[in-house]
Amino acid sequence: MQSFRSSSRLSAMSARGLAAGVIMACAVVAGLPQTVLAQDGDEVLGTVNGQAITRQDLDLTLNDLKDQLGQMPAEQRDGAALTALIDIRALAQKAEEAGLDETDDFKREMEFLRQRALHNAYFVKEVLGKITEDEIRARYDKEIAATPAENEVHARHILLETEDEAKAVIAELDGGADFETLAKEKSTGPSSSSGGDLGYFTRGRMVPEFEEAAFALDVGAYTKEPVKTQFGWHVIKLEDKRAVQPPAFAEVKNQIQSILLQERYFETLGKLREEAEIEITDPALKQAYENATAAQ
């Protein structure tokens, strides 16, 4: 199973290989009624040596292999997943015949997987399932209210190699030259083709010297002295200044939900650790555990 999960075979399959896999799978189910129901009402898609493969089995496989299958066209995923599931069942049956399911290592791994599945089921039911839309909205409102007001500016610039060139451009601007036209003609920066347009930006997005000069300007004004940065000499014009608008709820809803999930998860774990009788006999591992839990 583990070697199959880490294999890149699925992602490398050609359309022809997938078609062959579907044909082989169809041969397994030949002779069955078009729709067969398992005892629990689940649709049976086929059998492997008499063992049913149901729609739920296929859905579980699709979910388990979503990283590999996600690279494939949607119309090929069912066939690839069914091929994988048949292979898994066939090899698993052979392993049982060989008694591999009775080894201590296998039983130990199965117990770990059982506990991990229970961990995930509890998380879904008691953590994920209990975070409501109202709670996400309330956290959004709280974060927006706590965010300090911030301005952003819309600026253009003309980047030149020397201070004298920058001063010459400023002299042309003082004489009535158009800033965008000069930027297209003289700027050495990548924004020259758009008239030096840098769009809107907040503090912390530009190098300090450029940022301070831009934010100090009035709307419509340009720097009367060249501004030197690591990139060269700049002449900067401020097009607009406005308050930063907070992101819409829909844009950050998933992010906020993830934050709440993480907080609730570690809160739940903290309570469980306090209630549990935990004893670690190895001193180094005990210290490592304490460091890890403290960091959470």
CB crowding 227-247: b at 16 or more within 10 Å, else e: bebeebbbbbbbbebeeeeee
What's residue 40's pLDDT?
61
Higher-pLDDT residue of 11, 132: 132
Distance CA 50, CA 27 (A): 13
Domain contains 117: no
pLDDT digits (tens, 9 = 90+) for 191-248: 999 999 999 999 999 999 999 999 999 999 999 999 999 999 999 999 999 999 889 9
Distance CA 200, CA 240 (A): 8
Verify that 133 and 270 share a domain, yes or no.
yes
Verify that 37 and 98 share a domain, yes or no.
yes
Domain contains 258: yes
- Domain end marker among 243, 258, 277: 243
Domain contains 88: yes
Cβ neighbourhood burial of 215 (10 Å; 0-12, 13-18, 19+): middle
Domain contains 230: yes
Verify that 73 and 131 share a domain, yes or no.
no
Verify that 239 and 259 share a domain, yes or no.
no
Distance CA 280, CA 286 (A): 5
Verify that 9 and 69 share a domain, yes or no.
yes
Which one-letter amino acid corresponds to residue 153?
A: V
- Give the DSSP H or E segment for 161: none
> 256: domain range?
127-141+249-295
Verify that 226 and 179 share a domain, yes or no.
yes
CATH number of the domain encompassing residue 210 = 3.10.50.40
pLDDT digits (tens, 9 = 90+) for 109-143: 999 999 999 999 999 999 999 999 999 999 999 99
Verify that 261 and 132 share a domain, yes or no.
yes
Verify that 18 and 81 share a domain, yes or no.
yes
Verify that 29 and 163 share a domain, yes or no.
no
Cβ-contact 4, 84 below 8 angstroms: yes
Domain contains 107: no
What's residue 252's pLDDT?
95
Domain contains 146: no
Verify that 237 and 259 share a domain, yes or no.
no
Verify that 52 and 136 share a domain, yes or no.
no
Domain contains 122: no
Domain contains 111: no
Instruction: Domain count for the chain, please give it.
Output: 3
Verify that 187 and 204 share a domain, yes or no.
yes
